[in-house]
């Protein structure tokens, strides 16, 4: 079993804490290098989830606010199996 995520630099914190999150030891985090069929074919199977890591920018915050307003106005059907977590990664020394 494998849990996969998009990104290349932050597998270790996820893998280090996966058991405290309740994941079986057979599950782990792996990189996805893109969403093209050839790149997705490299993802270990079965894949149970995808975590997306991306920088928060003014543009991403504006897009998030626009989408939130649209959802507020029109509603949205979301599976109860979908989870969202905010995980902030700071470059070494940024919090000093």
User: Is 96 a member of any domain?
Assistant: no
As for how many domains the chain has, the answer is: 1
User: Is 63 a member of any domain?
Assistant: yes
CA torsion sign for 20, 9, 35, 87 is: positive
User: Is 27 a member of any domain?
Assistant: yes
* Tens of pLDDT, residues 20-75: 778 887 888 888 888 899 999 998 898 888 877 777 889 999 999 999 999 999 99
User: Is 89 a member of any domain?
Assistant: no
CA distance 73 to 90: 34
Q: How far, rounded to the nearest angstrom, does the alpha carbon of residue 87 sit from its chain's CA centroid?
A: 9
Residue recorded with tokens 């989408």: 67
Model pLDDT, residue 5: 43
- Provide the residue range defining the domain that includes 21: 2-74
User: Is 84 a member of any domain?
Assistant: no
Confidence of residue 96 (pLDDT cuts 50, 70, 90): low
CA distance 47 to 53: 17
Model pLDDT, residue 7: 41
Comparing 7 with 45, the larger pLDDT belongs to 45
């Amino acid at each position: 079993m494998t849990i996969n995520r998009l990104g290349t630099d932050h597998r270790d914190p996820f893998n280090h804490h996966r058991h405290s999150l309740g994941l079986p030891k057979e599950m782990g985090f792996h990189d996805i290098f893109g969403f093209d069929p050839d790149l997705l074919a490299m993802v270990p199977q079965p894949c149970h989830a995808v975590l997306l890591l991306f920088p928060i920018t003014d543009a991403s915050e504006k897009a998030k606010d626009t989408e939130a307003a649209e959802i507020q106005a029109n509603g949205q059907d979301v599976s109860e199996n979908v989870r969202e977590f905010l995980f902030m990664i700071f470059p070494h020394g940024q919090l000093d």
